[in-house]
Structure 1
Amino acid sequence: MRRTAAVLSAALIAGLVPAAAHAAPPPVPVQLVSITDFHGYLRPPTPADGGTIAGPDGATQVVGGAAYLATHLNEIRAGKKNSIFFTDGDNFSGWPFEVDVHADEPTIEVLNALGVEFSSVGNHELDVSRSFLVDHMEKGKCFGKVGVDSCFTDSTGRRFHGADFDFQSANIVDAKGKTIVAPYTIRMVKDRGRTYPIGFIGLTVPDTPVGSTSYQPDLKALDQVESANRAAAELTKRGVKAIVLNMHDGGTDASATYDNCVNPTGPAFDVARQVTPDIDAIVTGHWHAAFNCSIPDPAGNPRPVVEAANHGRLISEINLQLDPRSGEVLRDKTTSVNHAVTRDVTPDPKIQKIVDYWAAAGDRKYAEPVATITGDFTRTPNAVGESTMADLGADVHLWTARQNGPADLGVIAAKPATGSTAVRGDLLVAASNKPGDANGRVLLGESWDAYGYGNPVLTVSLTGAQLDAVLEQQWQPQANGTVKFAPLALSSNVKYAFDASRPVGDRIDPADVKLDGVALDPVKTYRVAALAYTVIGADGYSAFKAYTNPVRNNTDHETFASYLRTHKTLTPAPLDRVTQKG
C-alpha cells in the first residue's frame, strides 16, 4: 500500500507540474566577431606589410586581403543567429595609396559591404579631424571639390554616403568635456521570443590627442578605467547585464603564435585587471599584436582579452552564453579563438569587385601630373647634410603653415636622430616606366612616394634660444663615444653656419642664424612649421618639446601635392642654406 500510495503521489505531482519546469532553459548563445587595425588594406598585404603570420604549429601562413576576409567571415558566422560583427578601430587612415588618395572612402565601402555594425575610435580615426570622422566618414558630408577631394564615385556608381555603422569612444572629449561620439552602443539579440541587450563600450588609446598623426590640440583623453567604469555603470542602470569593452589599446605576449597567451603585458592588460567586473569580455587593438588571453577581473573571475593583429590578417571570435532568465553572461561557458585569414579559400567575388575597382582608380590617380621639375630633387646630402629634397620639404612646411596663419620658418628632419624620415624618395627629371610619366613630369603617386608618412604639419612657438637648442641637437653623442649627425633642413628664408670644432651643444652661434637676413634673437618667439612627429620629440630632437601654442595644418601627402600643383614648375634651389666655419 505504501508503495502504491507513493507511486500514486508521484504520479499526481507529475501531472500537476509541467515537465519543462524540471529542466532549466538552455543559455542564449551570442557570437562576437571582430577585426582591428585594418588600415585600409583592401588588397592582400605584402610580407613587409604583414602578409604572413606564424600559425599554431609555428609554420608561416599567408594571410590578409579583404576578399579573403569576407570568405572567412561568412564561414565563421554561418548558422549563428546572434552574431555581431564589429571592429576595434584604426579602420582607415591607412597607407595604401589607392585608399589614402581617395580620402579613405574605399575602406568604408568595403567595411559597409562586410557588414560592420560599429567600431571603437582608434587614434587613426582622428588623423584628419573630428569633423572628418563624424561628418565625413560617418555621415558622408563632402569637403573640398566633389570627386576630387572627397565624395568619390564608388564601385556601384553612387557617390560616397558614409559609413553604415557608427563609432564609440568613452574617453575622448572636446574642450567642454563632452565625448566626441557616443561612449557606447547597445545591440539586441533574440532567443525564444525574448530580447536581450548587450552593451559595447568604446575606448581610445590615451595619447591620441598628442600623437604624431592624430595630433588634435582641441581634444583630450580621459582615464581609460574611469571612463569604462562610468559607461558600464550607465549601461547597468539601463538594464544591460552583458557588457563588452571594445578598446583601441593593446599589449603583447611572449607567444610566437596568434591564438595563445604567454606572459601578457601592456596597457590593455593593466586595464583588464582593473575595470569593473560588470564588463564580461575585452577586445583590444592598436599594438598590431595577436593573442587570445583570459585575465581575471577584480573579483577574480576570468574574462577573455583578445587582439586580432592588423591589416585584416586575423579574426577574433568570442562566444558568450547568456543566462536566459537574467541576461547575464555565464563566464564559465565563454570561449574565444583567433582565426587566420588565410588565402587558401575562394575570395568573395562581391568584395573582390570593390577591391579591383579602387585598385584601378588608384592607378589612374597615381598617373595624374601635378608639376614639372627642371632638375633632380634628391636626398643625396652635401658635406653639411643639406639636400635638395629635404630643403624642398622645409619649404613646403613653411608654405603650408602660412596658409593657416603666420609662420617664420619651416623645418624637416632630413636624417632624424631616431625613427624614419618623411623625406622618403627622390623626384627625378628622367621619366620612369610608370604610366603617364614623361621627362620632367611629377606624377601624383610619385609625390606620395617621395615625401610624407601621414603626419600633419604643425605650427608651434619656440623662442630663439629654444630654436637654437633644437639646431644644436643635430649632433648627438653616442654610447660608443662617437657623435651622430642628424641634419635638419630649414626653409629658404633661413641660413646658418656651424663650427664642428666646437663642443657638442655649442656649435652654432645664434648670431650666425639668419631669418630673412636678421640674426636669431634668443628671447624672441618664432612660429615654426614642422611635422608633428618632429615637434613631439619622436625624431630625437627633444628640445622641440618646449613648444607652445600648437596649430594643426594640413597633412603631409596632401599638402605636398597641393604645393606642387600651386607652384607648377620647380627648380632645385642651391645648397647654400648651411655652411661650415673653418
Structure 2
Amino acid sequence: MTSPKIRALPLLTASLLAACAAPQASHQTSSVPGPQAAAGPVEVGIVAINDFHGALEPPGQSVNVKQADGSMLPVPAGGGAWLASAVDSIKALHPNHVVVAAGDLTSASQLASSLYLDEPAVGVMNRLGLEFNAVGNHEFDRGPKELQRLQSGGCEKNGRLDPCQLEQFKGASYKYLSASTFKADGSTLFPATGLKTFGTGASKVTIGFVGLSLKSVPTLVAPEQVKDLTFGDEAEAINKAIPLLRAEGADAVVVLIHQGGKTPVGDPNGCDGFTGDIQPILDKLNPGVDVVVSGHTHWSYVCNYKPANGGAPILLTSAGVYGELVTDITLKIDPAAHRVVSSAAHNVIVQSTPYKASRGEIANTDAFPRFAPRADVAAYVKQYKDASISLVERPVGKVSQAASKSDGAESGTGGTLGNLIADSQLAATRGAGAQIAFTNPFGIRASLVPAADGQVTFGQLYAIEPFGNELVTMTLTGTQLRAVIEEGLDDEGPMQVLSPSAGLMLRYDPARPSGKRIVSLTLNGKPVSAAANYRVSMVNFLAEGGDGFTTFAKGTQRTRGMIDVMAFEDWLKAVPVREVPQESRTVKVGK
C-alpha cells in the first residue's frame, strides 16, 4: 500500500548476545516508498519530547522567552491534546518521521492520570504516535513490574490502586528502551536499542536509537522499588550500542537519555552557559553518535555540543516539561555514504490556554503559533477528567495568598511553598515527637495559586505533592543534622537546600568548600548542638536516602505517619485561613 504516512511493519526482536548480556534490541521497519536511484540526501524528521509526567491537561505553566528589551514573555503551554496537534504539525513537515521520548512520561502526574496508574498518559502517547521512549527515573516509582504492565498491557494489580478502572488497558504501542538497566541475570529490563528504516532501494536510510536512564535512579526512587535492578554507566552502555547499531545497518545513531543540563532562563533554543550532569557522559562517548535527545532537568535547550574528548560535535536537545515544548529535529542522511550530512533542531512552544498565576493572568500571545486541542485526544482525556472531577475539585481550605515554588536559578530552594509544606509535616508528626520537618524542593511539583477567595482544592494539593509518600519521624544527632543539610549543598549533583519548618534557621555560603558550607544553624534561636538528639520528619523517599540525602538513612527510632498530601490538607483546613509563611528560613550569604 502506498501512503504519504509511514507504514509500520512487524516488530523484530534480536536475541541476547553471549553471556555478557549485550543490549537487547527492538527493531521496527517503516517505509515511505521512494525512487530506486537516490537523488541526494534523505531527510528525516525526529519529533522529540521528554518529561510529560501525565500532563493530560494544560499544567498552568508557561515557557518564558526573553524579549529584545530583556523582559520575559510568558507563553502558556502544554496539555495532551495541544501537544498532539503540535506533534502533528511537525510530522506534516517531514514525510519521513519518527516520534521519540527521553523518559518520565508517567508518574509525578496530574491527578486525573495518577488515579488511574497513568494508563491515560500512555493512551495519549499512543495517540500521538510515539515509537520509542527511554525509561526515566519516575517510570520506576511503582516498581519494574508495574512498568512492564504499562508496556505490555493487562490488569494485574501491583500496588494500592486498581488498574483498568475505565478501560481494558492494552499497554504502550511504543517501545521502552533501557540499555543500562539490568536484571539479576544480566539482561536488560527492556531492549537497549531500536531501529527504524525509511525509503526503499538506493534511497533507504535507517536510524538506530539507544535509550537509557540515568545511573543515579536508585537515589531518586524508593530503594525497594529497584532493589533487584542494577543501573550501569551511561556512556559505557551507549558506546556498547554504537557498533551494534551500525552493524545492523544504522546510518545515524540517536541517543534517548533521561539525563540533562541547564542554561540561563529565557531561550528555549539556546545553549549559552550550558552545564549539567549529562556533560561527563557526552565527553566519554565514542565517535558515531549524531543526536542526543535528553531530559530529566525539565529544561529546554538546543546545543551543538563539542565533547571534551575532541570528538565531533553532537546535536543535543531537550524539550522542557509537561508537553510545553516539542523538538523538531531534521537530519539529512546520505544513503550511499551511510552518514548524516547535516542536522538541525528547534523547540516549538505548544501554546495552549491562558491561566491564572500568582503574578496575574497569563494570556495568549501572537508572538508564537497557537495550537488547537486535537479532538480525539481531548475527548479521551475528558473521560478521565470527568471520572476524577469530584476529587480534583473538592475544597480543602483557604490560604492567605499564593505560595510559589522556586524556579529558574532558585529551583533548588523551596520558597514560601516549601515553608508551608514543611510546617504541615511538622504539625502532622508532633505526636511522634517531631521538632523539625524538612521537604526537598525538587519534590515540589507545582505552585499553589488559590481562587480569588483563597479557596484551595485537593487537585491543587495533589499537583504539588503527587507521589503519595508517607511521613517518617526519626532521631538524628546534631552532627547528622548538619551533615544531611550539607549533602544538599555539596558539589555532588545540583544544589538542593532542604526547606525547614518554622523555628529552624540556616545560613550557608556556596563559596565555601564542599561539605563545609553551613555558616550557622539554629533551632528556636539556639545553635544546633552536635551531641544533642533531635526528632526530625520527612517523607519516606528522603528517609531512605533519596535525592542524595544519605544521612537520613542512618536515622534511628523511626515512626511512620500519614501520607504527605493528607497532612497538607489537614494543615490547611485546621484554621479558617492558613497564613502562608513569608520569612526566609534558608539564607545564602557571601557573593
Q: Structure 2 length normalisation: TM-score?
A: 0.65
1:219 aligns with 2:244: no
Query: 1:40: how far off?
Result: 0.9
Q: Conserved in 2, the CA contact under 8 Å of 1:56 and 1:258?
A: no
Query: 1:556: how far off?
Result: 4.8
- Provide the aligned C-alpha RMSD in A: 4.5
Q: Conserved in 1, the CA contact under 8 Å of 2:426 and 2:437?
A: no
Tell me the secondary structure at the aligned position of residue 196 of structure 2.
strand
Corresponding residue of 1:142:
155
Corresponding residue of 2:334:
323
Counterpart residue type for residue 356 of structure 1: K
Q: Conserved in 2, the CA contact under 8 Å of 1:213 and 1:455?
A: no
Counterpart residue type for residue 346 of structure 2: V
Counterpart residue type for residue 336 of structure 1: A
1:302 aligns with 2:313: yes
Cα distance in 2 between the residues matched to 1:132 and 1:145: 6
The answer for unaligned runs of 5 or more in structure 1 is 1-19, 370-385, 396-409, 426-431, 435-442, 487-499, 514-527, 565-582
Tell me the secondary structure at the aligned position of residue 83 of structure 2.
helix
Q: How is 1:439-458 mapped onto 2 (pairs within 5 angstroms)?
A: 448=462, 452-454=465-467
Q: Which of the residues 176, 181, 187 maps onto 1:172? A: 181
Counterpart residue type for residue 277 of structure 1: P
Corresponding residue of 1:429:
none
1:416 aligns with 2:454: no
Counterpart residue type for residue 64 of structure 2: I
1:544 aligns with 2:552: yes
Query: 1:305: how far off?
Result: 0.6
Check 1:417–1:88 CA distance in 2 against 1; reply closer, same or farther (3 A cut): closer
Cα distance in 2 between the residues matched to 1:360 and 1:341: 24
Q: Which of the residues 494, 499, 505 maps onto 2:530? A: 505
Counterpart residue type for residue 232 of structure 1: I
Cα distance in 2 between the residues matched to 1:206 and 1:133: 18
Query: 1:458: how far off?
Result: 10
Corresponding residue of 1:283:
293
Q: Residue by residue, what CA displacement relative to the aligned partner does 1:64-85 show, whole Å, maximum 9, x if unpaired?
A: 1222212222111115221001
Q: Which of the residues 28, 32, 35 maps onto 2:42? A: 28
Cα distance in 1 between the residues matched to 2:548 and 2:306: 39
Q: Conserved in 1, the CA contact under 8 Å of 2:478 and 2:533?
A: yes
Cα distance in 2 between the residues matched to 1:502 and 1:254: 36
1:247 aligns with 2:260: no
1:161 aligns with 2:170: yes
Aligned length in residues: 453
Query: 1:185: how far off?
Result: 1.0
Query: 1:198: how far off?
Result: 1.4
Cα distance in 2 between the residues matched to 1:275 and 1:321: 22
1:356 aligns with 2:367: no
Cα distance in 2 between the residues matched to 1:483 and 1:146: 40
Counterpart residue type for residue 87 of structure 1: A
Query: 1:546: how far off?
Result: 3.5
Cα distance in 1 between the residues matched to 2:442 and 2:136: 22
Q: Residue by residue, what CA displacement relative to the aligned partner does 1:68-105 show, whole Å, maximum 9, x if unpaired?
A: 21222211111522100111110010331111111111
Corresponding residue of 2:193:
184
Q: Conserved in 2, the CA contact under 8 Å of 1:88 and 1:285?
A: yes
Cα distance in 2 between the residues matched to 1:269 and 1:262: 14
1:485 aligns with 2:493: no
Tell me the secondary structure at the aligned position of residue 31 of structure 1.
strand
Structure 1 window deviating more from structure 2 (99-108 vs 345-354): it is 345-354
Q: How is 1:74-473 mapped onto 2 (pairs within 5 angstroms)?
A: 74-135=88-149, 137-144=150-157, 149-153=162-166, 158-191=167-200, 195-212=204-221, 216-254=226-264, 256-296=266-306, 298=309, 300-326=311-337, 328-331=338-341, 333-343=342-352, 344-366=370-392, 390=426, 392=428, 415-416=437-438, 419=441, 448=462, 452-454=465-467
Counterpart residue type for residue 554 of structure 2: A
Q: Structure 1 length normalisation: TM-score?
A: 0.66
Query: 1:167: how far off?
Result: 0.4
Q: Conserved in 2, the CA contact under 8 Å of 1:537 and 1:543?
A: no
The answer for unaligned runs of 5 or more in structure 2 is 1-34, 353-369, 396-421, 448-453, 484-499, 509-517, 571-591
Structure 1 window deviating more from structure 2 (358-367 vs 69-78): it is 358-367
Corresponding residue of 1:405:
none
